[in-house]
Structure 1
Amino acid sequence: MRSAGILLSFTSLPSPYGIGTMGKDARDFVDFLAEAGQTFWQILPIGPTGYGNSPYQALSSYAGNPYLIDLDELVRDGLLKKSEITSVKWEKKPDHVDYGILYNERYKVLRKAADRLPLIHPQEYIDFIQKENSWLKDYAVFMAIKNDQKGKPWTQWPENLRRHEYEAVRNEAERLKEEVLFQERMQYLFFKQYYALKKYANAKGIQIIGDLPYYIASDSADVWAHPEHFEMDGDHRMTFVSGMAPDGGNPGGQKWGNPLIAWDRLRNDGYSWWISRVEFQTRLYDALRIDHFQGYASYYAVPAEDPDASRGHWRKGPGVEVFRRMEEKIGKRQLILEDLGILTQELKDLVKESTFPGMRIMQYAFDPNDPGSYYMPFQYIQNSVVYTGTHDNDTLSGWKTDKNNKGRIDRCKAYLNISSDKDFTWGVLSAVYGTVSDLAIVQMQDLLELGSEARMNDPSGKTPAWTWRCLPGSFDKKLSAKLKEKMLLYCRNNWRAVTDPVKE
């Protein structure tokens, strides 16, 4: 069916408390989506972030980010007083997150809420602890020790803790039991609010698209507690790490530093660990974006001790087999494949064999040196998801004004018959909605016609990342009405043709 959605991180929602949360402003955005004829809300990963604040380098691939817990909801539940949250200056600028303020202030408030949870826990709390036991205890102990170690990565902890020796970890968990309890309670509050929001969204006809990172952060509970799932030696040290091969512009390549998944070992038990990750994520979300799908075809391995990626090598990924095993164990899931990057024939064949939709990025089209580019709109197929851009791209307005893009922008205007700059953003949006792709996703920044100041992430690291937020009043009736007109015009209101064209 033809449908549409908006990409907006939870962190980017408006809020008086410094960062978007899962409270009223999130429900207001759901209402906006419904009024605008949308079907999907795509978000970024919601795990707890560490140094750098990237949602793709979370401290756990299961836990939720406590920053996203809505404080007003805690007041409503009797766990906080209003004065305790209004007395803090949560932000310097209302359109950007200040993670330094959050780091210094948020947990002070959350600890008060945790302390006021009933000593005799309600059954739903007990049920949550039991249901999530497979990851929750490891995460809570990991965070308790990490905080006790002044935030150091686990690779710098005392040897017996670094190596996750049973007696040492058990003794430390007992010594830090109050902190372990706090971490468990934060996860209970997080998921209580998340599932309430998801229930609200689904009741309004809105589905949530989550995001499954390919790589796990090296400083995470997953790697510390379960090194057997990664390429680690007997001393719990990484042997090879993630990266990208050298090219003409970068002879040293890129050394990303994530531990590599031990695909050969996982294959022996039917990929149970990876499948459990997907199963957990598909409990959270209605659909799931599979990040860095390239890695399932092939991935680049860099010796961990090397200073750069020049001595790395390519390895074959698990291929379609891992998705077949997934379907056998947990059934078919609604997945979107992030098949961007190096578009090898191997990758294209894997996407086609998987039967899941890949991604098309409108900003990647209109290259003057490649008139028949894979990303040109006439190349799209029905079984795909079209985007204006991803979280790693500039906004449409920023893309247009970047002088390095002049040739591409000129060709874009000519191809789409856009005659004036003031019509550029909505001209491109209309082109996205008019493509043959089943699903069209646009960034909220583009609907608001914002410039590069609203860019979510710049992989080059030239600008601050993960900080942009909507201002209050962004989800207005005029915009939702305009968007709904586009949905009706381009049949994006869950329309299905009487005779669907054959999907490639």
Structure 2
Amino acid sequence: MFLERRRGVLLHFTSLPGPYGAGDLGPVARSVAEGMAAQGWTIWQMLPLNYPNPAMGFSPYASYGALPLNPTVISLDDLAEEGWIPGEELRNLQVRLPDPWRADLQGAFRARRAGVALAFQALKRGHMRDRYLEFRQREWEWLEGWGVFMALKDSLGGSHWVHWPERFRSLERALAHWDEGLEEGAELYRFEQFLARRQLDRFRAHCEALGVRLLGDMPIYVAHDGMDPWACPYLFELDGEGNPVEVAGVPPDYFSETGQRWGNPLYRWEAMGEDRYLWWRVRLRKALEWFHAVRLDHFRGFAGYWAIPAEEMTAVRGRWRPGPGEALFDALVEDLGGDPSGEGPSLPIVAEDLGVITQDVTRLRLRYRLPGMRVLQFAFSGGDDNPHLPFNHEGLGLAYTGTHDNDTTLGWWLSASAEERRGLFRYVGRPLTAEEAVREMVRLALNSPSRWRIVPLQDLMLLGSRHRMNTPSSREGNWVFRAMRVELDGLLGG
């Protein structure tokens, strides 16, 4: 797949237009996929689809679990079409948006929860019950615990699981002290996953028929307040009370004197290795049921990772610890039946290798022939050996104008240094206006030697900083970019 020359769009599903607060994977998404295919865009890259934590601003990178899906993928229109909810209820579920360019993720979440509750009543009346029971049996290994975790969280006011009564602080203990009065709430969360997966499967099949491939995203770490550390504490660096001993982050660098303290619990890699990384193998298999390929975030952490004592408020006093390296990737290759000796990648994984990358990280990536990432916004400072300059791009790689963590290219250009502007001028052979600079960056990305070329929708729309998806280290105003339907139709034929 990575050996085929393709171009694509970076566009998270919540950024699609729609009347329910944020986009979903229903009719609009299918229409956009059709328009993309008609105009030769055959990769659709999205951010993680995991169930987001509302307390973390609905960040796709801060979820309640590694396997459960975000219920916002559920199309309420499709539920009505399939007879799950009465069509006349749709108007009551619509969300008014004060700013049409910004999604209301909280409102979108409430609308889906209300729609799922209506559909649950149809399930009780027998609607598609056999299909639900089949799904429940197939996914039971993780689905049972998911329902228990979320039902307990609701009953305990949404508090972090480390503050729950002792009898509920692990899946094993919770099942031993289960309150049957919570079972309907647990079943509602399991049923919600059935609806979400059903709609994701329909969307993926539609894209496949069009020749569009879905590129997903997998964060390296999971949240402390989530199902995984609660259900499998032995896989994480936790103390006897369930609190992290050390947490994830990155050390001080050019961009931050104190580094970045992310706060995720770290893995007990030795414990994970005892069953040949079963947790990771299951996680990747599930992700590849959703997507055709997956971008693996913070790839450098698999070679070596920065461990910060949990009591530290910054990342300064951390230490480097060795990652699982080849042992993990050998297990993944064996599990997925990858070809360790062919010309292409041995796994359907994109290695996010941005930032300060050391030789051991590059060796690990090349050992498994995984494509890396090159970003043009990083290209025009430094010398000719800058790996992000187009003439240094690898064929087995992905070229971007920018990523979800970058400013839009217009925003980048308007705040670019004199060195960066001169660098782009020299590369294209002439001075540029702001709009011309964006168009040239898109042209350079699409003409990169890298076989996969990705452009964020905001750059195709020539949008400025107000429309960037995420500002790292900022917790306000992220993840809410929303495209207008008329512009989307004009660009992608959606």
Same fold (TM over 0.5): yes
Does 1:410 find its partner at 2:422? Answer: yes
The answer on whether the counterparts of 1:418 and 1:427 sit within 8 Å (CA) in structure 2 is no
Give 2:149's match in structure 1, choosing from 122, 142, 150: 142
| Residue 173 of structure 1, CA deviation | 4.9
Partner residue, 2:344: none
Query: 1 CA distance for matches of 2:202 and 2:444?
Result: 35
Unmatched segments (≥5 aa) in structure 1: 482-504
1:476 is paired with a residue whose SS is helix
SS in 2 for 1:4: strand
SS in 2 for 1:73: helix
Look up the SS of the partner of 1:256 in the other structure. strand
Name whichever of 382-391 and 265-274 sits farther off.
265-274
Q: CA deviation at 1:45?
A: 0.5
Decide whether the 8 Å contact of 1:396 with 1:451 is kept in 2: yes
Answer yes or no: is the 8 Å Cα contact 1:163–1:236 preserved in 2: no
Which is further off, 347-356 or 381-390? 347-356
Q: For the residues of structure 2 that align with 1:239 and 1:461, how far apart are their CA atoms? A: 25
Cα deviation code 1:36-68 (max 9, x no counterpart): 112211111111111221101111111111122
Matched, 1:220 2:223: no
The letter for the 1-side match of 2:101 is: D
Q: CA deviation at 1:142?
A: 0.8
Matched AA of 2:78: E
In structure 2, relative to structure 1, the CA distance for the partners of 1:335 and 1:247 (3 Å cut) is closer
Q: How far does the alpha carbon of each residue in 1:195-241 deviate from its partner, in whole angstroms, 9 at most, with x for none?
A: 01111110011111111110011111111111122112343222111
Normalising by structure 1, we get a TM-score of: 0.90
Matched to 1:307, the amino acid is: M
The residue aligned with 1:82 is 87
Q: Give the equivalent residue in structure 2 for 1:490.
A: none
Q: Work out whether residues 155 and 162 of structure 1, in 8 Å CA contact, stay in contact via their aligned partners in 2.
A: yes
SS of 1:473's partner is: helix
1:60 partner amino acid: G
423-432 or 293-302, which deviates more: 423-432
Does residue 1:360 correspond to 2:374, yes or no? yes
Greater CA drift, 286-295 or 308-317: 308-317
- Tell me what 1:474 maps to: 487
CA distance in 2, matches of 1:406, 1:440: 27
Out of 334, 339, 353, the residue aligned to residue 339 of structure 1 is: 353
Q: Deviations over 1:413-437 (max 9, x none)?
A: 3312354323222211111111111
Which stretch has the larger CA shift, 76-85 or 237-246? 76-85
- The answer on whether the counterparts of 1:96 and 1:468 sit within 8 Å (CA) in structure 2 is yes
Q: What amino acid maps onto 2:69 in structure 1?
A: G
- Rounded to whole Å, the distance in 1 between the matches of 2:192 and 2:351 is 31
Shift in CA distance, 278/418, structure 1 to aligned 2, threshold 3 Å: farther
Q: Which residue of 2 aligns with 1:125?
A: 132
Per-residue deviation at 1:384?
Answer: 0.9
Alignment of structure 1 residues 143-162 onto 2, 5 Å: 143-162=150-169
Is the partner of 1:474 in helix, strand or coil? helix
TM-score by length of 2: 0.92
Distance 1:278 1:70 in 2: 25
Partner of 1:485: none
* Aligned with residue 382 of structure 1, among 395, 406, 411: 395
Mapped to 2, the partners of 1:272 and 1:100 lie a distance apart of: 34
1:100-119 equivalences under 5 Å are 100-119=106-125
Aligned counterpart, 1:373: 386
Matched residue SS, 1:270: coil
Structure 2: state its 5+ residue gaps: 339-346
Structure 1 residues 202 and 418, CA gap change in structure 2 (3 angstroms): farther
| Alignment-mate amino acid for residue 135 of structure 2 | F
Change (3 A) 1:431 1:116: same
Matches within 5 A, 1:420-439: 420-421=432-433, 422-439=435-452
- Aligned partner of 1:19 in structure 2 is 22
1:165 offset after TM fit, Å?
4.7
Counterpart selection for 1:47 from 31, 42, 50: 50
Counterpart amino acid of 2:76?
Answer: L
User: For 1:24 and 1:250, how far apart are their aligned partners in 2?
Assistant: 43
Classify the secondary structure of the residue corresponding to 2:196.
helix
How many residues align? The count is 478
Q: How much has 1:11 moved relative to structure 2?
A: 0.7
Query: Offset of 1:366 from its aligned partner?
Result: 0.4
Partner residue, 1:63: 68
Deviation at 1:337, TM superposition (A): 0.7
How far apart, CA to CA, are the structure 2 residues paired with 1:248 and 1:12? 32
Cα 1:118/1:211, change in 2 over 3 Å: same
Equivalent positions of 1:88-99 (< 5 A) are 88-99=94-105
Give the letter for the 1:74 counterpart.
L
Residue 73 of structure 2 contacts residue 200 of structure 2 at CA under 8 Å; is this kept in 1? no
Q: How does 1:287-298 map to 2 (within 5 A)?
A: 287-298=293-304
Shift in Å at residue 388 of structure 1?
Answer: 1.0
CA contact 1:39–1:207 (8 Å) conserved in 2: yes
Structure 1 Cα separation of the partners of residues 313 and 492 of structure 2: 50
CA contact (8 A) 2:404 2:468 kept: yes
Amino acid at match of 1:310: V
What SS does the aligned partner of 1:306 have? Answer: coil
Does 2:36 correspond to 1:30?
no
> Structure 1 residue 323: deviation in Å?
1.2
- What is the CA distance between 1:85 and its match in structure 2? 2.6
2:208 corresponding residue in structure 1: 202
SS in 1 for 2:178: helix
Which residue of 1 is the match for residue 343 of structure 2?
Answer: none
Q: 1:153 to 1:379 in 2, by over 3 A?
A: same
| CA–CA distance in structure 2, aligned partners of residues 170 and 46 of structure 1 | 31
- Per the alignment, do residues 424 and 311 of structure 1 end up closer, same or farther by CA in structure 2, a change over 3 Å counting? closer
Matched residue of 2:427: which SS? Answer: helix
Counterpart Cα distance in 2 of 1:419 and 1:309: 41
